[in-house]
Each structure stands twice: as structure tokens, then as C-alpha cells.
Amino acid sequence: MLVLRFAVAGPGNCAVVGDRSFVWARTARGSFVLPARCPHRGGPLHLARLSADGGRLLCPWHGSATSLSRLLKTGVPAVRRGEEVTAVLPDAGDTPYSLEHRPLSRDLRTAPPAGTTAGRP
Ligand code: FES
């Protein structure tokens, strides 16, 4: 397993593993590790907006909707401690990765309500 450590925000807030990248997203429904690239055509999912009902992420490129509940339930196992996130991917432990910066949309920088935990609504 590959254990990634990266910043919650600012420089180094995006872990890049091969052609995949991950950021820590915070919404009113919970916090979770978000793939920063849209599965449709690689758009910047880290800049996604929430749908009007707050239940889906809308990609800024073509508008594909991703269920927030699904991301929260089936996402990358992770925990936030202070300003750092530790996430676990199924990749080999010696898989190289780098840390970069990705800005987050306002909708992905909202503090979840007290009492919620990583990956759970
Ligand atoms: S790249 Fe995200 S909807 Fe097309």
C-alpha cells in the first residue's frame, strides 16, 4: 500500500501518482480525498462546483455530475491531522509520487459540520 501525506491546502496540497492526482476536499457533507482529474476527459475536478441540492460535484469542463455520497462512501481511506492528510492507496508502497499545488473551488473549501469524520457524511 502507498501511504501519501500531503497538505490540506496551499503548496503541496495535491499528491500526484502517475497520471492520477488527489486533493483534500471539504464540503458541508464531509471531508474526503478527491481525485483532482475528472474521469470523463481529465478536467480539473478540484475546481468543481456543487449542484444546487449540494449532492453532486459538477465538473467545470462539461458538467458531468459525480455523487458526493458515493465519493464519501467509496473514496480513498484517509485521515486529517491538523494541516496534513494521510491517505492510503492500493499501489505498491514504493510507487513514486510528488506533491504539487492545485487551487480548490470555493465549494470544496467549506468546513464540514463538527462531528463529521474523514470519508463519512
Ligand atoms: S472533463 Fe469533466 S465533464 Fe468532461
CATH number at 17 reads 2.102.10.10
pLDDT level of residue 112 (50, 70, 90 thresholds): low
Ligand 1: residues within 6 Å at CB? 38, 40-43, 59, 61-64
Measuring CA to CA, how many Å separate 106 from each of 20, 46, 49, 50, 96? 22, 10, 8, 10, 30
Q: How far is the centre of ligand 1, averaged over its atoms, from the C-alpha of 49 (Å)?
A: 12
Residue 48 lies in a domain: yes
What is the distance between the alpha carbons of residues 70 and 107, in angstroms, rounded to a whole number?
A: 17
Residue 115 lies in a domain: no
Among 17-21, 43-47, 82-86, 107-111, the minimum mean pLDDT is found in 107-111
Residue 15 lies in a domain: yes
Q: How far is the centre of ligand 1, averaged over its atoms, from the C-alpha of 21 (Å)?
A: 15
Give the total number of structural domains in the chain: 1
Residue 56 lies in a domain: yes
pLDDT level of residue 120 (50, 70, 90 thresholds): very low
Q: What is the pLDDT of residue 9?
A: 94
Q: Whose CA is nearest to atom 4 of ligand 1?
A: 62
Residue 81 lies in a domain: yes
**Between vectors from CA 66 to CA 97 and to CA 61, what angle results, nearest 5°?**
75
Q: With beta carbons less than 8 A apart as the criterion, state whether 30 and 112 touch.
A: yes
Residue 25 lies in a domain: yes
Q: What is the pLDDT of residue 30?
A: 87
Q: What tens digit of pLDDT does each residue of 38-77 get?
A: 989 999 999 999 999 999 999 999 999 999 988 888 889 9
Residue 113 lies in a domain: no
pTM of the model: 0.89
Q: State how beta strands 65-67 and 56-58 pair.
A: antiparallel
Q: Which domain holds residue 6?
A: 2-108
